[in-house]
Amino acid sequence: MTAEPRIEALSTERLGGRLRELRLQSGMSLRALARELGISPSAVSQIERGAMRPSVSRLIAFVSAIGAPLAAVFDTAPESKPVDGFAIRRAHEIASIQLSGGITFRRLSPVPIPDVEFFESTYPPNSISNAHGQFLRHDGYEVGTVTQGELTIDFETEVVTLAAGDSITFPCGLPHIIGNRSETTTAVATWLIVNH
């Protein structure tokens, strides 16, 4: 049995195009989104044209502002429909998203599930979820498990370091920044976000 070739990560242009498509579907103007994100309309345009790769924080803020689930960003291929109560999607069928700093996200759920996000994040050495150093807040409740390396989560009043096998849960409204402070080791974690 031969392994299927894995779909390549979404290019910056495809990611930007998908974000623009989702924004237009939401009915939000580029200027209104820029105001909501606290950035210039030019910066939103650069993200949507693929001239600028968003950070983890910017991506989550973007989809939150337009009311789209993070899962909607991953691909536009027809979703497999649940058959007899279950759905399957093979690993090679879902493209990952590469964000600024080389961080990648890969959706783990075979189909988007209402109010649930299930994905894997890979943080290369010295990478951080928000290059601007601003804390991220979004809707829902987050559960994460580190499967390789170490991740550091900065909260406003505490810093938590998680090693492989460690897990954490917290409300997403609690301001946080996630990063890999290692100089040499890549960190990988799985995340479940449940929206209310």
CATH no., domain 93-194: 2.60.120.10
**What pTM did the predictor assign?**
0.82
> What whole-number distance in Å separates Cα of residue 161 and Cα of residue 66?
32
| Helix (H/G/I), strand (E/B), else coil: 148 | strand
Give pLDDT tens digits for 25-67: 999 999 999 999 889 999 999 999 999 889 888 898 899 899 8
> What whole-number distance in Å separates Cα of residue 19 and Cα of residue 49?
9
Give pLDDT tens digits for 72-129: 887 555 555 555 678 888 877 777 888 888 999 998 988 878 888 899 999 999 999 9
5-44 as b/e: b if 16+ CB within 10 A? eeeebbebebbbbbbbebbeeeebeeebbbeebebeeebb
Superfamily of domain 12-70: lambda repressor-like DNA-binding domains (1.10.260.40)
Ranges of each domain in the chain: 12-70, 93-194
